[in-house]
Amino acid sequence: MQEGDRNSKSLERNTLGSASGEQLRLDAETAGAFLRKLGERLDYNINIMDRDGVIIASRDPSRVGTYHAAARHLLESGSREERISPGDHLPEGTKPGVNLPLEVRGDVLGVVGVTGDPQVVGDLAQAVKTSIESMIELEAMREAVLSRRSRKTSLMAYLLYEEAVPESAVLALAGKLGYDPAVERAALLLRLPSGKGAEEALSKVKALRVHDSQDIASALPDGSLLVFRRLCSEKAGDSAGDLGILSGYRREIRTYIQACIKATGIRDLACFAGSPQRDFSRYRGSYRQALWLASRVSAPGGEPVLILDHLDEYLLAQTPRIVLDDALALISARVPAELRRTLAATLEALEASGFNIKEAAARLGIHRNTLSARLERLSSFLGCDLRGDAGALSLSRTVAHYLELRGGIVQDAQRAR
């Protein structure tokens, strides 16, 4: 067999059927994910070869796809181990180390090799061999029951609910589905109006190619849609006219929602966006942020709500109550009752209008003199003018959110200590 034929053949298959019907596989994606995880804790180079002696995964990327003569020799001889010492007369491209067959249910699927002095790496090679064989066994059991749809369901479960799943398992499953773990994504929670089916909406979105191959989407049991949407705003300075990171995210997500509205015909589609992530282990956090937004903030149709625009409220909500009470209970207890009831809405309108009294009053639906009086009372209470004192504005905003968390009720100062 020519080396080129051997390389292409190794990438397309290395599958054996077992008596019980499961498929025993040693594929490059799973092997690569295993070595990436293992490489975080080991300094030795490890190679995994298929049954043709071709390296399909290695901690040295330059060796992937090359022929490993010692591995092929081990497979042809049927030996249980091959040790290559530093003093041996080594063929070109061969390095000292220990090579062991990968055997599952009596079938030899390939070879694992650990580079180094055999006296030093022998036990390590045995441990790696056992780990890879166990991984292949588990993958075989999964393959017996997993279609692409069930794989995707499993991936979503791993990302959202199961905290103890090994990262290597998540990476391997994502690799089988074609999802690049290095892509930046954000959780988008799409709430549909009553009577609109999530599965039907998702089908329409896919039919019009609103999604690309790196979007991870699923209909949730509550009738919502969850999309881990691929983002490109990390390149905003190059490709989006120097929008900047926040404006870039806003524009990308708004464009996506408008495309979804066009595809589904649902004009009052609400979207809540968690923070962008590039680590599967943090996707759960982005999803929970979107859930928190959905429970707290109204989303006008076509205009997504981003956690990045509500971080102060979110962080306050996540801070332990005793910490908030220690910092804010006494001051909040002193806020006059008439200010307490209107503080949050007043600040929101003022900030949204750039402290334009006329515009802010219109947003609140009150006369501008009424708003001016509120602002004067607040400035009098603080002894500072919010328009020229960043600390006073920050404190007012934080107190307003704290009062909302406490339901607008603050205990007497002496009882709150």
Q: What is the DSSP string of 14-66?
A: -EEE-TTSPEEE--HHHHHHHHHHHTTT--S-EEEEETTSBEEEESSGGGTT-
Give the amino acid at 409: I
- C-alpha to C-alpha distance for 28 and 402, rounded to whole angstroms: 52
**CATH 3.30.450.40 region(s) of the chain?**
3-143
Q: Which residue has the tokens 């499993």?
A: 154
- Assess contact for 94 and 70: CB atoms under 8 A: yes
- Assess contact for 289 and 274: CB atoms under 8 A: yes
Q: State the chain's mean pLDDT as an integer.
A: 83
Asked if pLDDT for residue 3 goes beyond 90, the answer is no
- Assess contact for 167 and 280: CB atoms under 8 A: yes
pLDDT (average), residues 193-214: 89
273: alpha, beta or left? (left if phi > 0; alpha if psi -120 to 50): beta
- Assess contact for 96 and 90: CB atoms under 8 A: yes
- C-alpha to C-alpha distance for 82 and 70, rounded to whole angstroms: 8
- C-alpha to C-alpha distance for 77 and 79, rounded to whole angstroms: 5
- C-alpha to C-alpha distance for 307 and 275, rounded to whole angstroms: 6
Q: Which residue has the tokens 């997993």?
A: 146
- C-alpha to C-alpha distance for 71 and 54, rounded to whole angstroms: 8
Asked if pLDDT for residue 88 goes beyond 90, the answer is no
Instruction: Report pLDDT for 42.
Output: 77
Instruction: Report pLDDT for 257.
Output: 93
297 membership: H or E segment, kind and range: none
pLDDT digits (tens, 9 = 90+) for 294-322: 998 887 767 899 999 888 889 988 888 89
CATH of 151-308, one of 3.30.70, 3.40.50, 2.60.40, 2.50.20: 3.30.70
- Assess contact for 36 and 57: CB atoms under 8 A: no
Cα distances from 142 to residues 22, 184, 217, 398, 409, in angstroms, run: 8, 28, 21, 50, 53
Helix then strand count (H, E) for the chain reads 17, 12
- Assess contact for 228 and 152: CB atoms under 8 A: no
pLDDT (average), residues 30-50: 82
At what angle are helices 390-405 and 311-318 packed, to 10 degrees? 50
Report residue 69's pLDDT band, with 50, 70 and 90 as the boundaries: confident
Instruction: Report pLDDT for 168.
Output: 86
| CATH T-level topology, domain 3-143 | Beta-Lactamase (3.30.450)
- What backbone torsions phi and psi does residue 77 show, to the nearest 5 degrees? -80, -20
DSSP label of 266: -
Instruction: Report pLDDT for 33.
Output: 82
Q: How many alpha carbons fall within 13 Å on the CB side of residue 157?
A: 10
pLDDT (average), residues 130-142: 81
Beta strands in 248-341 (DSSP E): 270-277, 305-306
- Assess contact for 366 and 372: CB atoms under 8 A: no
What does the block give as tokens for 100? 């062991």
Asked if pLDDT for residue 104 goes beyond 70, the answer is yes
Characterize 129-151 residue by residue with b for buried, 16 or more Cβ atoms within 10 angstroms of its Cβ, and e for exposed: beebbebbeebbebbeebeeeeb
Q: Which of 9-18, 81-90, 93-102, 120-129 has the lowest mean pLDDT?
A: 9-18
pLDDT digits (tens, 9 = 90+) for 351-379: 888 899 999 999 999 999 999 999 999 98
**CATH 3.30.70 region(s) of the chain?**
151-308
